[in-house]
Structures are given as structure tokens and as C-alpha cells.
Structure 1
Amino acid sequence: MLITDPVKDFFQKIIEERVLVMVAQDVDGLCACKILQSLFKCDHVQYTLVPVEDKQDLVTEFDSHKEQYKHMVLLNCGGSIDLLEILEPDDDVMIYVIDSRRPIDLVNFYCERQVYLILKQNQEEAQLIPDYDHIYRNYDSDNEDSDTEYEQSSKRHKFDQETLEKKREKRIWEEKRKEIIFDYEEYSYYGTSAALILYELAWKMSKDDITMLWWAIIGVTSQYQNKKIGREKYISSVLELQGHLSRLNHREEDNENTTSIDSIKINFEHDLDIALYRHWSLFESLCHSLNTGTTFKVWTNLGMKRLHQFLAEMGIPLTQCKQSFAFMETKTRDNLQTLVQESAEKFGLRNIKFHSFTAQCGFNHKLCASDVVFSVDSILTNTESSKPESYEDNSNFVDALEGLSRITSPKLEEGLQLAKVQLRAIKNNVGSFIDIGQVLSYGPFLYTNIKEGSPDCTLFAQPLFLVTFSHFLLHSYMRSLGKSKRDRARNLPLVICSPSPQEGSTMVVGIPPLSEESRKNLFGNAFHHASERTKSRTQHHFFNPAIITVVNEDRSKFIDALITIMS
């Protein structure tokens, strides 16, 4: 059931209860978790925090805690699956869902009790929800009555035209229902950030502060940076955040007690869409950024030559470009954005700047929201944990939360160094894939396969990393084509297969084509149909429906069925 007043129908109902909070392991979910933790701290709410990676984790953790907790909050998980069916909660269990994934499961949406959705829907999303009468209709009771009438009347008339007419109407209605549900569930996509929803809840209760706003900013930025939402959706969210920032800045100016040098200061500005450039050298950042790296085609000798020409056009000596940003000349650092933008158009760089936020604490260097996203993402996908075995399962989650705690956190710095390692791995592998022609056209989509034992195979076993790599690879492949082929290829999505951590199985990921600005993904539905058609042994246990695992022996027939379905 959709909650219209989250303060009254959600927060005030759990404020005196013991609460179980289950969090999906993505940046937006963690930011939402930090905001909720702050709200709980204000009102001394007792809670237990549990990270969940997939649907199996969700069921396992629910079963192990359902005896102790009757109020549960799901952050960025559960909204798109039938919770009543998968969890089978007792009648006194209340489940509150704050999830940015779409489409929302219709059972959750129309359930009148137990499952409560805290969402922010725009007009377009609201119009996509089918009417209740089109999905649910009390035909069962009608049929029971009509069957009884038929049995009685058959003794007298042997034929009942009214009963047959009702059965025909029911069959037509069921066929129409299937069409409506298919259209509704055809694409998976993302709505408003869970962190932004919880921040607005804090604002409505007058409990928001500048730190909560920073977490909401990071949550929204992660959606855009990880290609979950398009530029238009991102800008609309940014404008909301900018309004809140102006309000909080005015409030702090009026309060003399908030002028501590250690307090966080946030600025709204246009920033360069270049990965980690404040924490790396300009040369390395340009090589390993999605926009610049793919535009220059840095995996080729000609591409590196064009990159050097770009730097020369800006008038920045190569020695400065290859040293840390902090040690560049002050004049060059101050004018870097202008220099890059003036030369970008000449070299075909589009959208080199974007609306963003930076934060600063004391005399530390500025930290861009996108830098934090890179850091936390890399911590969540870290495969080299030094924690003891008993702590290892949740160590990445705990480290990521610690990294978000403050902008001067040592964990955040560790994450930035991990992000550089992962970006280098992406660049090296993308270059190899393009050079040996490993991306193939399978008709309705592009296809590639990561072989077992490949370099960085432990990273490719991480779904978050694999999705990021897929976007880099798709953009790079487009740039490697001639102009005549590029227009057609822009409309082709990408399917990538990688060895799964589960022995004898393969992880399959599908991402939408570059032409799909809204980032709607049709692979979740297509994977289900391909699996059913071929009776392939697949597991659809990830919260992202466009990521599945398939048994190795069934992979070929599964891909063949996918080609047929999407043709």
C-alpha cells in the first residue's frame, strides 16, 4: 500500500518499536541507511541493521529475525518483488519499503495491510500503474456460484447460455490482464533515490541537517554515475537538492554557533565529469574516465596521441598533467575547468561538465560527490579484505558505512585508492576486448564473454563491478566503429557473460543501449521468457532483474532463445 503521509503512517508508528532495517548493498541504499540511522538516533529508536545482497539474503535474514521484530524497514530492496509470497510474514508483521527500483510489484502496491510503500512518484510513473479493476477481479466467487447454478440447471436444461457467457468474459479479461501486466513489467528502471526520499522525510519533521543533505546528494549522484537514471531525471533531483542547500545555508548563517571550522560546507557548482581528478593526476583521470577515455580511444596509439594533443591545446605542460592534482601550479588548478571546456568541443567531448556538489571540511581538499560514489562503490566490491573470517562477510558493508560517516574518514581515502585500481582494470580489459574483437553482434543485441581465468576475474565476479565494466565497454565499442555502423549500434543493448562465484554457473548481465536516455532496461523480462522457453536452469535472485546466473550447460540455448525473443 502506498503511504501518502510517511511522518504519520511510518515514522510515528515505529518510533517506540524495535525495528529491523535491511539494506541493499549499493551506494544509494547505504546513504538512505545513514539518514535513517540519524533519525533513529534523534528519537532513541532501537534497531538492528542487516545488509542483504540478494533475494536469498532477504529471505534468510527475515526468517532469522521475524520472531524478535514486528516492524521491518527495507532500503532499496523488496519493492519490485511480491513480499507476501516470498517472505510469508505473520499477520502482525509490518514491512515498510523505501526502494528506488521500478516497476513496483502490484501486490505490494495494492496490498491494504502489512506492506507499506514509501515512494515519490512523478506523474509519468503514477500513470504506469494499472487500475485495480484491470488486475484484480472477483471472478472466482462468481464462477463458484455459476458452476453451482450450472450443475443445478443442467439437470433441467442441459445448457446454460449465461454461464458460458461468463466463462467467455473471464477468458477475455484474463488475456487482457496478461497484456497489461506484461506491458507494466516489460522494462526495469529506477525512480527517485531512496536517500532523497528519507532526507525529505527528515525535512518534513524539521530534523534535517547539512550532513543528511550530503548523503542525499551522494545517493542521487550514484544513480546518475552508475547509469541508473538519465541526465534529465538527475537534473530535476539536483534542483531539489539545490533548494534544500540554499535553505540550510541561510539557516546556518543565522546561527552563529554553526561557524566551527570543522563543520561541513557544501557548494553547488558545475564540475568536470572526469573521474577522481582532484585525487589523481589529470592525465590518469582523463585516461580512465568514461567520457574522455572512450572519446579519445585511449586503448589505441592514435587515441593516446589525440589525448596529448588535447593537453597541448589547453597549454598545460605534460609534466604537470602527470603529477598529482594537488601539486599542479595554483593558476592551472584554478583555471582547469575553463581550459578543459574551451578545448573539449574541438576534440568532440560532449557534456564534459555537469551539475554537481562539492563538500569541504576545514582546510582539507574539496571532495566531489562523484568522488565519494567511486570510493564507496570500490569498497563494496573490494575482493581483498584483511578482516577475520567471522567479520569478512559484512566487512565491505561496514567499511562503506564508515567511509560515509564523514568526508575526512580514512576509509574514504582507502576507497579512493581502490577505485583507481578498479578503473585501471576496466581500462586495460576494455582495450583488450576491443583489440581482439571480443564484442560481437548477435542481431538484436551485442554480446561478449569473459573467460574463466581471465585477468581480474575476481572483480568480474562482483555484479556491481561487472555492470560498471559493461557500460565502459559499450561506450568504447561504439567509439571503435565507423560512423556508418555507429548509428545502428547505438540502438543495440549489450549482454555480457562472466564466470559466477557459484561453481558451474555463469553470471549474465544486460544493459540498455546508448540511445535509451531514460535508462529503461528490457532484459529482466526477456531473461525470464528465455529461461521459461528453454527450461534453462537459471537463478533470478539479484534485486536487479537484468542480472541472473545460468548453469554453464544451458548457457548456449539460453542465449539462442534470447536472440529469438528480442528479434
Structure 2
Amino acid sequence: MPLLQPPSDDLRPSDLSYTHAYNSIVSRVRRTGGAGSAGVVILAGVDVDGLLAARILASLFKNDDVPYRLVPVGGYAELEAKRDEALASEELHTLILLSLGSLLPLSSYFQLPKKCHLHIIDSHRPWNLQNLFGLDIDVDDENEEGEGGGGSGGGESRIWVWGDGEELTETMDGVRKSWEALEYEPSDSGSDSDSDNESDDEAEEEEPEEEEEDGDGSEAEGSTSRQDRKRRRTGSNQPNKKRQRDEDDDRPRRLPRAVRDAHYDRVQRYYESGTSYGQSVALTIYLLATVLERADNDILWYAILSVTYQYITSRIDRDRYEEYHTVFLDEVVRLNHEPIAGGLKMPNPDNRSIAKSEELRFMLFRHWNLYDAMLHSGYVAGRMGIWRERGRKKLQGLLAKMGFSLQQCQQAYAHMDMDLKRQLPNKLESIAPEYGLVELSYPSFTRAYGFQLSSLSAADAVEVVSSLLDIAVGVRLEIDRAGGKNGGEWFGGTTRWNVGTRDAEGASGGDGKENIDPRGANGDGSGAGGGEDGSGQEKKKEQDWHVTNFWVAYDACDDVTLLRRSLPLAMTLHKAIIRAGSALLDKSIIRSLRTFRLAILREGPDLRLFSHPSTLSRLALWLVDATRDRWAEKQSKQGNGKVKSLPFVVACLNEDKGTYQVVGVTGAPEFGDVRKNKFGLAFQQAAEESGAGAKLDMFDTSVVEVRQEDLQQFIESLHLRSG
């Protein structure tokens, strides 16, 4: 399996990069000559990174006239069905995995037909080491020999792994050596003093060589020949045995048990260190676009959004984000020409430029009001404790000390006094540290949309796209209507959310005027028609909601009208997070166990909303931010050493299914740092040891669905396992 490296001037001629893989895809399309889209199939994970990567890759394929089929995939069960469907096509020659599959044993999971190649681009870590260091040569592709550099004399490798450079570090080199030692070298078993065991060992050592010489020998024939060789050696004289040992000196020796155990421990430490994230999938494909000289503002914006998404969801730390920001800054300068200093800047309705900016950690503040934007910020919540009345008074005191009246701060930011908006960054820099707010901004980018929308920051765009991806359809929501405070005091306040696209209308059924309740018209899951057919139809709709949401969010990436109309949806989602998080903190529902904190949502108006893994993960991250300082201080006082991580488990009841959706996050004591998440393996072991009915179907291993009656024993087993 060729491991592809990012484009770099330091690559050797023998090193393979992204361009080799892409040229292989295009050349295979040219050779097949088919105009159908079944030849290239893209399976994309239903997350922001996978969606944005699909947008960039689709743009490249469009420029090269490569027909393709894009299929969103939400979990392993769905992946299995889509895999079988794709592999059943005789036209298939290229299968691409975006933001999924890094932990799967690809060579065995995908039984690829002849002349079919697989490309995997995934940011989930750790890798399955078989994918990085294993071999899988397509010996039937004689016409493609040398094209991808996959080997000599037999064609190219069928599985292409798009790496990010981290696979070539010294640490990974040690892991590779240990994996290869365990995979390819014989192991030590038995005693050399026992003549029978020695004969068996020698027979087993000769077997690989015999198989290589015979090639297609069957297992029965191999067993018979092994017994014959053993009889011949038993009846032979001692000098023949000595000569045989001398001949065997050049063969690979068995590993001593201690060495083997050391290799095994190193590999296990790699897998058990926890899940993390590497270079985003969208950035990987953008780097390919720069080498192909296809980069433009659209795909650059998608790459910026993917890295911003990783940063604001605590998947990468501040240092890595700033490294990526430096790369993007050069690209922004290259693709966007700034006006001459002092020159007249004319408004342009077609302006789609990208500019650098300093982004405040206030939620959607350009499109909301300043007070609510600060109130719904996880960073501000943690430092000021806004879920209590005292914390909200502190927030109002901060605004008053800055000279901002509450009336000004509670009206739309676009209508605030211009002088106040210009003074806001300087005022915050001078006064906010008195309230513990010392990291209120970070470097980012904004994009102009002509006269259609005021400049949209990368963080705001990510919030809108991720909200559409989670809850565009499938949940009944009330959003604020445009007007005065909280939707307008004279105009009724709220209206029912309706995304208004053709895909959403088809998913919701009926006339498409509203997003119907998933339980059906009767509210009991029976559907409009009742009976088994109605129930089956509702189940199918439930399975298709994430697919519909994927396409709605996919369209929103270049639909300014849909982006602007979806801003209230993102605001409503964050209001629900604040509402649920404040209730958990106020009612002291959060339990402090020995190794993690636990919060269980059993009631409330937002149960259906938080039964989605992504929205529940957002709530968990908000709770980590809100309790970080107090929890880290308390833990350091109780323990003897420095606090390394802040694990948090949140469960939400899904009343329709009778299950709990459980997510685990691992926060860092310092804001901006990231810790590896060890809940993936812990969830799996807890489910096995407790015997609880659990379903681990998501590509994010720190998400599990547990049967309602088994939650208690699952948590108990998880507590013991984590300890």
C-alpha cells in the first residue's frame, strides 16, 4: 500500500505524493472511456470535514471531466451496505473514502475486484497499521505498471493511503518496525531441548519457503509434505541434521519472547493512546489543487472552513491551527489582491474576496446582538459563570465598564453605533483581562459576498454549515423571527424552522411547508397511514435524514441566500445548548466520579435535539469549557500532581428508540490545548464486560448508543475500566 506524502520540495524522486494518486485516477478514467458515473465512487463521511473535502474534490473532477458518484455515509452499518452496492457494479474502477475508514482493515474489509483501486483520505487517528505498512499489489494491472510506483514486475498497489507527513516521524518509525517484526518474522514457541518440538519448529520454518516455491499448493498437500519431511529427518543421521542447521542459519530467526513482548507493547500503546485528528481531509485535497494549479477562492475558502471547524471543536490545538493559518495567509495574499493603501474602495456586487481578520470568541456576533453573542460563548461562560444570575451580572458589568449601554448591546450588531463597534476590540483588550478573559480573539479570515450578505467569518460559516448538517431536517424547531429583541416584541417572536429546499421538502413529506415531527402526524411513530407500512416508511425517513441534511449543507456552501437564511438556525441551536447546559449546572445533575464527570439528560424540551451525536458532543464541549477552571483547580487540590486531562461523559435519552446516546470528550486544563480521547476503547471494553446492549456504529469511536435499561451497568463498567 503506497503511503502518499504531502507535496514538498524535499521529496525524493522515488517518493509518492498526492499528484501520483490523482493522476492514476484520471488515467484510469481515460482508459475505461465510459461516460457513466459508476466508475468513480466517493464515499464521504457525514461531517463538516468530509462535506468540504467532497466539494473540493468534485471541483477538481469537474475540471478534468471525470464522472463520479458521491455517496454520504453516516456509520459502519451504512458503509457496509454502500460498499456492497458499489462493488457490485462492473464499471467500478476507483473507490474513494473521505473522512472515514482509517481504523478499518481495508484489504480485507473491501474485497476489491480486479483492476479496482481504493483511495483513503481520513483525518481520524490512529491508523490501522495494516493500512500504513501492509502490502496489497494488483498483479493483474500489467498495463499500469510503473504508473503509480507500486512495485516492480506486477503492477501498482491497489490501496492508496493519503498521509499528512506524521506517519514518517521517528515515533511512527519505531511503531512500523515493531509491527513488521510481529507481522512478518516468526515467533518463539516451545523449547529447543525437545527433539520433537525442534523438528516441528524446523518444519514450520521450512513451510513458508515451500509455499513460495510451490505457489498454489493446497493446505492438505502442505500438511502431508510437512509430515513426510519430519519422518525423513527423524530417520536421518546426525551429520545431516547438522548440515541442515547450517543451511538454516541464513533464514529469519524466531524472535525471543521478551523482544516479541516489547514489540507487542509498543503497538498496543499506539492503539491505546487515544483518538485524535490529523490534517483535515479538505486541506489535503486543497494541497493537491495547489500543485495542479487549480486553486481558487472557493476551494481555498472550503479548506479554511475545515481547519476552522477542527479548531473550534477542539480537534486541533492552537499551535497547529496557527501553523495552518500561516499557510492560508500566503494563499489568501496570492489569490486576493488588496486595494492600494489610501485608494478609493468602490463597492462591488460581485466581490467574493477573502481577507484576514481577528475573530472574537463571541458566537455569530456580526449577525446577532453583542450581549447574546457573548452570553452563548463557551469561553465567556467558563470564565464568568453565566448560567448563574451572578455571572450574568458580571457580564453586564463588563459591558458597562467598557461604556456600552445594555440597550445598544441588545440590538442587532449591524445597527449598533459605529463608534462603539470600532472601539470594541481595544476596549476588550484593556478591560476584559480584569474578568479573566485573556484569550478573546484568534487569527482567522472573512469572506465578502457582495451586496447579498455582509462579510461572513470562517467561524460563522462553520456554525451555519454544521447546524444544517445536524438539524436541517428531522427535528421540529422554533427560530426567532426578524424584528426587535428576541425576534420582535410586536411581531410574535418565533416561527417554525423550514429550510425551504427541494431535498428537504422530499424528506419531510407532505407539502414541504414545515419540518414535520419524526414520530409522524399522530406523534406515536405510526405515520399518517398507520400500520406496518406507515411505520416502515417513518423508519426509512429517519435513516435518510442525515443524507438529506448532507445535501442541504452541501448546497449551502455556495448558496449565499441559504447561508443567510440559516443563521437563525445556528443561533437556536446554541440557545438550546445554553439552556440544557445551564439546567445541568444549576440543578447539580453532573456527578463527579473518580475518573470522569457524568451528566445524563432524561427530560427537557431538547431531548430530540441532543439525541444527535454531533449536537450532544457540542453540549459536552460547552460543559468542559464552562467548568474547566473550577474543575482543574479542584482536581489539582485533591491530587498530588498536575491535572493532565478533564474527561466528561454526557448521555441523552432517545425516547422513541428507548436508548441513550452517549458521548465522551477529553478536555485539557488549559484553554486551546487538546488531549487525545481515550473513551473509544473504554466504551468498547465497557460494553463487552457489562453485557449491555450497545451499538458502536459511528466513525467517531467516542460515541455509543446504549439500551435504556442497560445504561447503569454500562456506566459502572466504564467507571471501573477508566480507573
TM-score, scaled relative to structure 2: 0.71
Q: Is 1:193 aligned with 2:280?
A: yes
Instruction: Give the 3-state SS of the residue equivalent to 1:507 in structure 2.
Output: strand
Q: Which amino acid aligns with 2:299?
A: M
Q: Is 1:131 aligned with 2:176?
A: yes
Q: Which stretch shows the higher mean deviation, 174-183 or 295-304? A: 174-183
Alignment of 1:221-370 (within 5 A): 221-249=308-336, 261-363=349-451, 364-370=453-459
State the match for 1:493 in structure 2.
647
**Ranges in structure 2 where 5+ consecutive residues have no aligned partner:** 6-15, 30-38, 136-156, 188-200, 208-225, 341-346, 476-497, 499-503, 508-540
| Distance in 2, Cα, partners of 1:261 & 1:142 | 80
Superimposed CA distance per residue, residues 399-453 of structure 1 (whole angstroms, 9 cap, x where no aligned partner): 10111115xx2221233211111100010111110111111111011111121x4
Cα contact 1:500–1:549 (8 A) shared by 2 = no
Q: Which amino acid aligns with 2:722?
A: M
| Distance in 1, Cα, partners of 2:270 & 2:456 | 40
Q: Which stretch shows the higher mean deviation, 388-397 or 262-271? A: 388-397
Cα contact 1:121–1:191 (8 A) shared by 2 = no
Q: Is 1:12 aligned with 2:162?
A: no
Superposition deviation, residue 23 in structure 1? 1.0
Cα contact 2:45–2:98 (8 A) shared by 1 = yes
Superimposed CA distance per residue, residues 193-251 of structure 1 (whole angstroms, 9 cap, x where no aligned partner): 11111111000011111111111100000000111111111111111111111222359
Match of 1:43 among 61, 64, 68: 64
Match of 2:83 among 62, 69, 77: 62
Q: Is 1:471 aligned with 2:621?
A: yes
Match of 2:297 among 200, 204, 210: 210
Q: Is 1:519 aligned with 2:530?
A: no
Cα contact 2:305–2:459 (8 A) shared by 1 = yes
State the match for 1:388 in structure 2.
506
Superposition deviation, residue 34 in structure 1? 1.0
Cα contact 2:282–2:303 (8 A) shared by 1 = yes
Q: Is 1:556 aligned with 2:674?
A: no
Q: Is 1:103 aligned with 2:126?
A: yes
| Distance in 1, Cα, partners of 2:307 & 2:169 | 18
Alignment of 1:17-166 (within 5 A): 17=29, 18-66=39-87, 67=89, 68-112=91-135, 113-122=157-166, 127-128=171-172, 130-132=175-177, 133-139=180-186, 144-145=204-205, 148=226, 151-152=230-231
| Distance in 1, Cα, partners of 2:568 & 2:107 | 42
**Ranges in structure 1 where 5+ consecutive residues have no aligned partner:** 254-258
State the match for 2:261 in structure 1.
175
Q: Which stretch shows the higher mean deviation, 389-398 or 231-240? A: 389-398
Q: Aligned in 2, Cα 1:538/1:35: closer, same or farther, shift over 3 Å?
A: same
Superposition deviation, residue 7 in structure 1? 4.5
Q: Aligned in 2, Cα 1:76/1:393: closer, same or farther, shift over 3 Å?
A: closer
| Distance in 2, Cα, partners of 1:482 & 1:9 | 48
Q: Aligned in 2, Cα 1:134/1:531: closer, same or farther, shift over 3 Å?
A: farther
Q: Which amino acid aligns with 1:13?
A: S
Identity %: 27
| Distance in 2, Cα, partners of 1:535 & 1:155 | 51
| Distance in 2, Cα, partners of 1:527 & 1:108 | 24
Q: How many residues align?
A: 556
State the match for 1:256 in structure 2.
none
Superposition deviation, residue 387 in structure 1? 2.2
Superposition deviation, residue 119 in structure 1? 2.0
Instruction: Give the 3-state SS of the residue equivalent to 1:443 in structure 2.
Output: coil
Higher relative contact order (CA 8 A, sep 6+): 1
State the match for 2:462 in structure 1.
373
Cα contact 1:97–1:116 (8 A) shared by 2 = yes
Superimposed CA distance per residue, residues 511-566 of structure 1 (whole angstroms, 9 cap, x where no aligned partner): 11323723311111222232333344432221111112233343333322222222
Instruction: Give the 3-state SS of the residue equivalent to 2:163 in structure 1.
Output: coil
Superimposed CA distance per residue, residues 234-276 of structure 1 (whole angstroms, 9 cap, x where no aligned partner): 11111111111122235999xxxxx964131111122211110
Could you say what the CA RMSD is over the residues aligned between the two structures, in angstroms? 3.0
Cα contact 1:29–1:195 (8 A) shared by 2 = yes
| Distance in 1, Cα, partners of 2:656 & 2:233 | 58
Superimposed CA distance per residue, residues 272-308 of structure 1 (whole angstroms, 9 cap, x where no aligned partner): 1111000000001011011112222111110111010
| Distance in 1, Cα, partners of 2:719 & 2:326 | 41
Instruction: Give the 3-state SS of the residue equivalent to 2:667 in structure 1.
Output: coil
| Distance in 1, Cα, partners of 2:202 & 2:349 | 71
Superposition deviation, residue 486 in structure 1? 6.8
Instruction: Give the 3-state SS of the residue equivalent to 1:78 in structure 2.
Output: coil
Q: Which amino acid aligns with 1:9?
A: H
Q: Aligned in 2, Cα 1:438/1:154: closer, same or farther, shift over 3 Å?
A: farther
| Distance in 1, Cα, partners of 2:366 & 2:324 | 25
| Distance in 2, Cα, partners of 1:251 & 1:346 | 37
Alignment of 1:446-465 (within 5 A): 446-451=597-602, 453-465=603-615
Structure number with the higher helix fraction is 1
| Distance in 2, Cα, partners of 1:154 & 1:365 | 86
Q: Aligned in 2, Cα 1:134/1:270: closer, same or farther, shift over 3 Å?
A: farther
Instruction: Give the 3-state SS of the residue equivalent to 1:139 in structure 2.
Output: coil
Cα contact 2:133–2:176 (8 A) shared by 1 = no
Instruction: Give the 3-state SS of the residue equivalent to 2:454 in structure 1.
Output: coil
| Distance in 2, Cα, partners of 1:122 & 1:174 | 25
Cα contact 1:381–1:459 (8 A) shared by 2 = no
Cα contact 1:59–1:87 (8 A) shared by 2 = no
Cα contact 1:282–1:325 (8 A) shared by 2 = yes
State the match for 1:529 in structure 2.
685
Superimposed CA distance per residue, residues 106-165 of structure 1 (whole angstroms, 9 cap, x where no aligned partner): 1111233322111212478663351242341243897734794895489569xx9999xx
Q: Which amino acid aligns with 2:44?
A: V
Q: Is 1:424 aligned with 2:549?
A: no
Q: Which amino acid aligns with 1:306?
A: K
Q: Aligned in 2, Cα 1:523/1:336: closer, same or farther, shift over 3 Å?
A: same
Cα contact 1:426–1:469 (8 A) shared by 2 = yes
Q: Which amino acid aligns with 1:396?
A: N
Cα contact 1:271–1:337 (8 A) shared by 2 = no
| Distance in 2, Cα, partners of 1:341 & 1:69 | 57
Cα contact 1:540–1:549 (8 A) shared by 2 = yes
Superposition deviation, residue 392 in structure 1? 4.6
Cα contact 1:299–1:431 (8 A) shared by 2 = yes
Q: Which stretch shows the higher mean deviation, 171-180 or 491-500? A: 171-180
**The structure with more radius of gyration:** 2
| Distance in 2, Cα, partners of 1:245 & 1:227 | 24
